[in-house]
């Protein structure tokens, strides 16, 4: 069975500091990996995804994540965060495209001035 663990429930950080949100998964088959962001009172939005190819994937707003198969991880990083990055971040896996997503518990990123 697949599962996703987000190791930190809350991550407070100061503006312009780097941040890493950790995600580990377990699966006996190949997976597709995703990071979603949920701003207050809004729906989930896809931030970035790994389907195949390069293990480093990037989003348009400066986030990146690296698929590490040996460590079964897909950590999300940003070198310099903004106040507007404050949100809940969810890591998810799927074992086929269009199939169900299995989500982690979420990490609340709080960026302080």
Q: Minimum distance from CB of 71 to other proteins (Å)? A: 21
Q: Does 43 bind other proteins (CB under 8 A)?
A: yes
Q: Measuring CA to CA, how many Å separate 31 from each of 8, 25, 41, 74?
A: 22, 9, 29, 11
Q: Are 31 and 2 in contact (CB under 8 A)?
A: yes
3-state secondary structure of 36: strand
Judged by CB under 8 A, the residue of 2, 7, 15, 44 near other proteins is 44
Minimum CB distance to other proteins, residue 29 (Å): 16
- The answer to the question of residue 31 lying near other proteins (CB under 8 A) is no
For residue 103, state whether it binds other proteins (rule: CB under 8 A): yes
Q: Are 57 and 75 in contact (CB under 8 A)?
A: no
Residue 106 is a binding residue for other proteins (CB under 8 A): yes
The contacts of residue 13 (CB under 8 Å, 6+ apart) are 19, 81, 109, 110, 111, 112
Q: How many residues bind other proteins (CB under 8 A)?
A: 22
* Site membership for other proteins, residue 25 (CB under 8 A): no
Asked if 10 is part of the footprint of other proteins (rule: CB under 8 A), the reply reads no
């Amino acid at each position: 069975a697949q599962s996703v663990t987000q190791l930190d429930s809350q991550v407070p950080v100061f503006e312009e500091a780097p941040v890493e949100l950790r995600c580990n998964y377990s699966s006996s088959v190949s997976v597709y990996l995703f990071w979603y962001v949920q701003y207050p009172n809004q729906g989930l939005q896809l931030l970035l995804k790994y389907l195949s190819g390069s293990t480093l994937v990037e989003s348009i707003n400066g986030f990146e994540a690296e698929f590490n198969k040996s460590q079964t991880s897909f950590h999300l990083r940003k070198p310099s965060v903004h106040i507007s990055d404050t949100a809940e971040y969810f890591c998810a896996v799927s074992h086929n495209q269009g199939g169900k997503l299995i989500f982690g518990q979420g990490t609340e990123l709080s960026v302080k001035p």
